[in-house]
Amino acid sequence: MGCGSTREKGPPEHTQLFSFITLSDFRKTSTWTLLAYIWLWFMAIVAIAVYAVDTFTAVNLLAFDKWSGQVKPEVPFKYSKWIFAVCILLSWLLCFYEFFRAVRVIRRGGVAESYMDPLAVTLQSMRPQGWRRFLVFTELTKSKKGADYIAFFVYFAFDGAVRVILAEGPRQAVNAMTLYAVMKADLIPSHGQHSNVAQFFLNVKALAEKQEEQAVILFSMLFTLVIWVFSALSLLLATVFYITFLWHYIPQRDGRLSIYCRRKIDRRLEKIVEHKIKAAIQDEELKKQKAEKKAELKRMKTGETLASRQPALIRQPTLPQLGNSPEMVKEDKLP
């Protein structure tokens, strides 16, 4: 069983589209949903700011041949500047690729494809009726069960592997060596009385007293390094999960991890919509009974006769019904 991208061979899938869904059926169920939506906008702004800072750094390195601060990396400048510049340029290339991929996914209109593309989720949630689409993604996230959490964790970790390894890895290695050199520097003699971590912060404090910009740069390097370490550990853990569990768990008919995830999303969405349609029908029936009871009481008071009425239309599910074909029956039995 493979683990490639969404453009791989596999069984034909009945993809659910946003055009099949009544978006008004999805409503906010808690304050956390609104906070998550605000967080999505906040992270989008942060991402733009990060790319702006990266661009500024790359310009300083290539055009002005200098760092934006006075803290020099442990690696010689003639090498480290190209490591940083190439990594930043690669980040921009990945950004453009991911943007155009997300646009293609949005144009196809598939719910599963959008959910499986982090940038498409962000763009879908920001366009007109984005709040309603975000509620759809929230419902899909809340309905995960068991092994699905592992499968989606592995999928998203693999999806960002190129960025973690190639676009971030080399420059974070330079950052790590620079921070290690600061930690080992004997700016404030301690004679072995402090741990390495304590000595690092003492040295940073000594540098800040001379120039605050150096301390800011060092802490920014430390922050990005910690974030990258967590990303790298997630990728390593995802690899372990894939080899030891998912490789044997995912059915052969799915072919690849992305096909399995897409099928799970489509089936989950179908159940969510079916549940919401049943709830809406029950609500309509309750309103109809109340209206009939009110009309009956009014008729009893006025003595009016019951007028003939056309039968009311009952709301039907918005997703296409695919029938109980042998393939669908077999699919229901898959993990």
Q: Is residue 225 part of a domain?
A: yes
2 DSSP β-pair partners: 256
**Would you say residue 295 lies in a domain?**
no
- The pTM score is 0.75
Cα–Cα distance between 233 and 145 in angstroms, integer? 23
In-domain check, residue 310: no
Long-range contacts of 282-287 (CB under 8 A, 24+ apart): 284/314, 284/315
- Tell me if 319 is assigned to some domain: no
Using DSSP's 3-state secondary structure scheme, residue 122 falls into: helix
Of how many residues is the chain composed? 335
- Residues 159 and 256: beta-carbon distance below 8 Å: no
Q: What does the pLDDT read at residue 143? A: 67
Q: What CA–CA distance (Å, rounded) separates 178 from 225?
A: 11
Cα-based distances in Å from 140 to 87, 133, 268, 293:
35, 11, 7, 38
Does 230 reside within a domain? yes
Instruction: Identify whether 322 is part of a domain.
Output: no
Per-residue tens of pLDDT for the chain, all 335 residues: 555 544 444 444 556 788 878 888 788 778 889 999 999 999 999 889 888 888 877 777 777 666 555 556 677 777 888 888 899 899 999 999 999 999 999 999 888 899 999 999 999 999 988 999 999 899 888 866 778 889 999 999 999 999 999 999 999 998 888 888 888 776 666 655 667 777 777 877 877 777 777 777 788 888 888 989 999 999 999 999 999 988 888 888 877 888 888 888 888 888 888 887 777 677 777 877 777 777 777 777 776 655 555 555 555 555 555 555 454 455 555 66
pLDDT at residue number 174:
87
Q: Does 299 reside within a domain?
A: no
What is the reported pLDDT for 187? 66
Write down the pLDDT at residue 5: 47
Please tell me the total count of domains within the chain: 1
Instruction: Decide if 218 is inside a domain.
Output: yes
Domain residues for the domain of 221 are 18-282
Q: What local confidence, expressed as pLDDT, does residue 7 receive?
A: 42
